[in-house]
């Protein structure tokens, strides 16, 4: 870092004038130049850091012409829907509509075991939900929303697409993010992604400037496809989703009780489609295996256990 600092500031004479406040002002200007004064905008709100900061930023730019949608896709964590909706209403005062589409998602995922296929299916279903919501909104406000806000970050783009400027039409896709590589080509809504050039630590910094409550900003990342990618195999088989929800809840609460939640980047449980023997009390058991993972990171690009 010292070498880079010397090269940039002493040798090149670069001015260190970049501030996150400038990013906020620039993005608000871009949003206002993109969205016409009578346009309405939908925001895909998940309850995580990224979409919450994106929604708050766009709301600051266009006010009540922003309409947020929280989708219960049947793949959420334990009591996530109730907790998130309560926090939206109590702390953020954003206009949020909750859509229960759990049966719609789970029916499409029945029998699917490939995680990449799961991501594609979930991305497509999300867009179907937003298109339907846009149609309903048109009946209320008299004009169909043209834009969809997403909390896409730069790592999402990197992992889903070829390197920029590489000239390639394809590369090794690490994973198709449901909000990048998982989107259908024929989607009707145009995207607004105000955070797509930022990393997670920068988004948290922007959130503090926007006065997003600290508990929201400190939440661990949770994948858009939800527990679909934390249950290996068919998510609809047996009670895999219930098991991983309960395990995850116990794991996260234990980390919070130990006072180390904020020093961990991401902690979560994974359901494995294999059984193992064990002993519970005085009895031998033969049941499914779950794994617990916890990693530290700064920007989500590299991690350590």
**pLDDT tens digits for range 62-107:** 999 999 999 999 999 999 999 989 888 888 888 799 999 999 999 9
Pairing type for strands 147-149 and 66-72 reads unpaired
Considering the entire predicted model, what is its pTM?
Answer: 0.82
* Residue 60 pLDDT > 80: yes
CATH of domain 238-304: 3.30.300.10
**Binding-site residues from annotation:** 46-52
CATH of domain 1-221: 3.40.50.620
Alpha carbon distance 60, 64 (integer Å): 9
* Residue 292 pLDDT > 90: yes
Residues 6+ apart with CB under 8 A from 233: 113, 240, 273
More confident position, 18 or 168: 18
* Residue 168 pLDDT > 50: yes
Across 247-267, average pLDDT: 97
Q: Where are the domains of the chain?
A: 1-221, 238-304
**Binding-site residues from annotation for ATP:** 46-52
Across 271-280, average pLDDT: 93
pLDDT, tens digit (0-9, with 9 covering 90-100), for 116-126: 999 999 999 99
pLDDT computed for residue 264 by the predictor: 96
* Residue 54 pLDDT > 70: yes
Percentage with pLDDT > 90 across the chain:
69
Confidence band of 181 (pLDDT split at 50, 70, 90):
very low
pLDDT computed for residue 129 by the predictor: 93
Across 33-45, average pLDDT: 93
């Amino acid at each position: 870092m010292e070498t880079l600092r010397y090269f940039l500031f002493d040798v090149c004479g670069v001015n260190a004038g970049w501030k996150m406040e400038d990013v906020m002002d620039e993005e608000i200007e871009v949003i206002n130049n993109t969205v016409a004064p009578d346009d309405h905008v939908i925001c895909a709100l998940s309850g995580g850091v990224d979409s919450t900061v994106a929604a708050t930023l766009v709301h600051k730019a266009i006010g009540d012409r922003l309409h947020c949608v929280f989708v219960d896709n049947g793949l959420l964590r334990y009591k996530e829907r109730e907790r998130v909706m309560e926090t939206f209403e109590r702390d953020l005062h954003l206009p949020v509509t909750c859509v229960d589409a759990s049966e719609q998602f789970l029916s499409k995922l029945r029998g699917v075991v490939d995680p990449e296929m799961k991501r594609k299916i979930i991305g497509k279903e999300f867009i179907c939900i937003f298109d339907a919501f846009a149609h309903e909104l048109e009946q209320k406000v008299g004009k169909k929303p043209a834009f969809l806000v997403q909390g896409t970050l730069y790592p999402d783009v990197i992992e889903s697409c070829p390197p920029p400027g590489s000239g390639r039409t394809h590369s090794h896709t690490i994973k198709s993010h449901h909000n990048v590589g998982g989107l259908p080509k024929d989607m009707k809504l145009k995207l607004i992604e105000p955070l797509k050039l930022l990393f997670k630590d920068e988004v948290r910094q922007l959130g503090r400037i926007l006065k997003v409550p600290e508990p929201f900003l400190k939440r661990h990342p949770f994948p858009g496809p939800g527990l679909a990618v934390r249950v290996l195999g068919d998510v609809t088989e047996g009670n895999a989703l219930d098991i991983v929800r309960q395990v995850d809840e116990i794991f996260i609460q234990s980390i919070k009780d130990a006072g180390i939640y904020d020093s961990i980047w991401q902690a979560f449980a994974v359901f494995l489609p294999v059984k193992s023997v064990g002993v519970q009390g005085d009895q031998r058991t033969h049941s499914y295996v779950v794994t617990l993972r916890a990693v530290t990171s700064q920007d989500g690009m590299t991690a350590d256990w």
